[in-house]
Homo-oligomer: A and B are copies of this chain.
Amino acid sequence: MRLGCLVAFVKLECTRVDLFGVLVLSFAAATAGGLMRDLLIGAAPPAAISDWRYILVPVLAGLLVFWVPGIVRRLRHAVVLFDAAGLALFAVSGTQKALTFDLNPLAAVLLGVLTGIGGGIVRDLLVNEVPTVLRREIYAVASLAGAAVVVLGDWLRLPPAPVAATAALLCFGLRLVAIWRNWNLPIAEPPRSSNP
């Protein structure tokens, strides 16, 4: 289970939410990506609610973060590592699930990326921010690379297990190197404010 719920807490700096709000943000950050994937491929009810452990774990994580303030700051290096590992796991497993539902390769990549980044997007929207993943950092691109490797391996009929491991390592490594070297994508140039 991805620790995105912990990262959700950092978002609270400008938005005071109550205990229930923390639990909702925690659940959303952990499951919204896979939940949207399952709705899109027609796998209702989504695994995120049909398996009660997917509900319980983010709730417990949210309670922990709520009752032990400062835990995210103290464990911030571990949080970054677990978040990158979760991104890799989600992107790879999301792509695999989309492939088993016979979607085209482009859609499988898209759903793998959505599984990886969807939770963070919903979390940011709930606290009224433009999702971080749209603005900066090599985050989506790392999940894109992992998802593309899974699709390519499936297309070449390579054995799934080593392909998944390679894809996950690529995503994980790319994310960590991007943090370490502070890599970013180019930013859109805004239109000049003076309308001609």
A193 to B128, CA, bound (A): 19
Contact B41 A107 (CB under 8 A): no
Contact B127 A18 (CB under 8 A): no
Interface residues of A in 11-38 (CB under 8 A from B): 12-22, 24-25, 35
Query: Residue A159 at the B interface, CB < 8 A?
Result: no
- Enumerate chain B residues within 8 angstroms of A189, measured Cβ to Cβ: 69
- Per-residue CB contact flags for chain A residues 111-131 toward chain B (1 = under 8 Å, else 0) read 100000000010001111111
Query: Residue A147 at the B interface, CB < 8 A?
Result: no
- Enumerate chain B residues within 8 angstroms of A104, measured Cβ to Cβ: 50-52
Instruction: Give the Cβ gap from A180 to chain B, nearest Cβ, in Å.
Output: 18
- Enumerate chain B residues within 8 angstroms of A170, measured Cβ to Cβ: none
- Enumerate chain B residues within 8 angstroms of A22, measured Cβ to Cβ: 188
Q: Chain A interface: which size bin?
A: 35 or more
Instruction: Give the Cβ gap from A113 to chain B, nearest Cβ, in Å.
Output: 9
**Given known contacts A44-B40, A56-B106, is B18 in contact with A185 (CB within 8 Å)?**
yes
Contact B17 A66 (CB under 8 A): no
Which single member of B45, B50, B70, B128 contacts A129 (CB below 8 Å)? B128
Which single member of B52, B72, B126, B191 contacts A125 (CB below 8 Å)? B126
A interface with B by C-beta (< 8 Å): 9-10, 12-22, 24-25, 35, 39-42, 44-46, 49-52, 55-56, 66, 69-70, 72-73, 101, 103-107, 110-111, 121, 125-131, 133-136, 140-141, 184-191, 193, 195-196
List 5 interface pairs A-B (beta carbons < 8 Å), by A numbering.
A12-B190, A49-B110, A50-B104, A121-B126, A128-B129
Known: A17-B188, A44-B44, A56-B106. 14 other contacts (CB 8 A): A12-B191, A18-B184, A19-B186, A20-B185, A21-B188, A22-B188, A25-B134, A39-B39, A40-B49, A41-B44, A49-B103, A49-B111, A52-B106, A126-B131
